[in-house]
A and B are shown apart, each in its own frame.
Chain A
Amino acid sequence: EDQVTQSPEALRLQEGESSSLNCSYTVSGLRGLFWYRQDPGKGPEFLFTLYSAGEEKEKERLKATLTKKESFLHITAPKPEDSATYLCAVRAYGGSQGNLIFGKGTKLSVKP
Chain B
Amino acid sequence: DTEVTQTPKHLVMGMTNKKSLKCEQHMGHRAMYWYKQKAKKPPELMFVYSYEKLSINESVPSRFSPECPNSSLLNLHLHALQPEDSALYLCASSQALSSGGPGEQFFGPGTRLTVL
CB distance from A99 to the nearest CB of B (A): 6
| Interface size class, chain B | 20 to 34
Question: Does B56 belong to the interface (CB within 8 Å)?
Answer: yes
Q: How many A-B residue pairs have CB under 8 A?
A: 65
- Stretch from A15-23, A67-75, A100-108 forming part of the interface with B: A100-108
- The answer to whether A46 and B31 touch across the interface, beta carbons within 8 angstroms, is no
- The answer to whether A34 and B108 touch across the interface, beta carbons within 8 angstroms, is no
- The answer to whether A34 and B110 touch across the interface, beta carbons within 8 angstroms, is no
A43 to B42, CA, bound (A): 11
Question: Does A7 belong to the interface (CB within 8 Å)?
Answer: no
- The answer to whether B104 and A97 touch across the interface, beta carbons within 8 angstroms, is no
Give 9 nearest A-B pairs by CB, closest first: A32-B102, A102-B42, A98-B48, A43-B107, A43-B110, A44-B107, A49-B104, A43-B109, A51-B102
